[in-house]
Amino acid sequence: MDKVLNNSDILFIYDAKLCNPNGDPDDENKPRMDYERSVNLVSDVRLKRYIRDYFQWTGQEVFVAKQDDKSVTATDRIKSLLNVEKSKVLTDEEKRTLLNKLIDVRLFGATMPIKIDEKKGSSTTFTGPVQFNWGFSLNKVRIVDSSGITSHFSSETDREQGTMGKDYRVYYSLIAFHGIVSAKRADKTLLKEGDLKLLDEAMVKAIPLMATTRSKIGQQPRLYLRVRYNDDFTFLGDLRNYIRLVEDNGSLRDISEVQLDIQPLCEYLTQHKDKIKEVYVWQDSLLQLVPFRNLSEALQSSEIKVKTV
């Protein structure tokens, strides 16, 4: 069995320009915000959806997906995956079959409710080894002042004007996520080393390919870092604590205006380099880092093994 024997910490940064990174259904689908701090928020569920969509687009089987472009119940999805007609409590062998088929469950886990009949049901839960905090913007974010839109068609046949609506977007948001890979949990979901390589790939490629709806286009990955440790009990914590914008006066509008200070991050990783097996890095050429222009080279100069994603 190809198992993951090491923990990892993940840092992922992407930006959003004149779009809605994550609408809040409880607030007119406005971008999620901490209004007291002018901080844009993005849920882990939104990020995982991009990754699942990318996996499905590249031919991987995922559990949280439509079937033939139609929404289905969890029970019907499980029956389809196991190729059975009648639902029942899952055996250990059937659980292994599902895990071997479903990359998103091996990574993120899932709760699989099964309706056996009108009175009885069952549920199987897998706790995912890969988890993310909610993302938040490193800069102060403002919602675009003008949000009114008019549709071309009227809502009623006797009206000449189109209907009015709202279209909420942010001017610019530089969003950072922290995530972990737990080796002990990976054992339980049969996570393989190849799955993590696909995750690295998806983190870099998913958003440009999957965020193509009218409200989501305008997002680009800028930095990805997965710090893989030598063991299954080390975590260095939220790596967002060790990065900061050089300047943020609340008016950032483009990646060309961003300078990200990574010296505290490099110093922190160097301080703990004896715990690190290797670091997987991807950096967008437009992201300006200081005082080290290239993160890979900065880490390598500290004798940390670096692999390019």
Q: Quick one: pLDDT at residue 268? A: 98
Confidence class of residue 306 from pLDDT cuts 50, 70 and 90?
Answer: very high
Q: Quick one: pLDDT at residue 1? A: 44
> pLDDT: is 308 or 152 the higher one?
308
**Buried (b) or exposed (e) across 15-35, using 16+ Cβ within 10 A?**
bbbebbbbbeeeeeebbbbee
> In this predicted model, what pLDDT tens digit does every residue of 256-305 receive, in sequence order?
999 999 999 999 999 999 999 999 999 999 999 999 999 999 999 999 99
Confidence class of residue 114 from pLDDT cuts 50, 70 and 90?
Answer: confident
Q: Rounded mean pLDDT of 140-168? A: 71
Q: Quick one: pLDDT at residue 209? A: 97
Whether residue 164 has pLDDT greater than 70: no
Domain boundaries along the sequence of the chain? 8-61+130-308, 74-127
Task: List, in order, residues 6 or more apart from 66 with CB less than 8 Å away.
Answer: 72
- Pick from 46-55, 130-139, 140-149: least confident: 140-149
Phi, psi for residue 293 in degrees, rounded to 5: -70, -35
Task: List, in order, residues 6 or more apart from 44 with CB less than 8 Å away.
Answer: 131, 132, 133, 134, 135, 177
Question: What gap in Å lies between CA 276 and CA 194, rounded to an integer?
Answer: 20
pLDDT cut 70: percent of the chain above it: 91
Task: List own/partner pairs for 263-267 with CB under 8 A and 24 or more apart.
Answer: 263/290, 263/291, 263/292, 265/11, 265/239, 266/292, 266/295, 266/298, 266/299, 266/302, 267/242
> In this predicted model, what pLDDT tens digit does every residue of 166-193 receive, in sequence order?
899 999 999 999 999 999 999 999 999 9
Quote the mean pLDDT of the chain.
92
> In this predicted model, what pLDDT tens digit does every residue of 184-223 receive, in sequence order?
999 999 999 999 999 999 999 999 999 999 999 999 999 9
pLDDT cut 90: percent of the chain above it: 81
Residue 194 has which token pair? 């190849």
Whether residue 138 has pLDDT greater than 80: yes
> In this predicted model, what pLDDT tens digit does every residue of 46-72 receive, in sequence order?
999 999 999 999 999 999 887 667 777
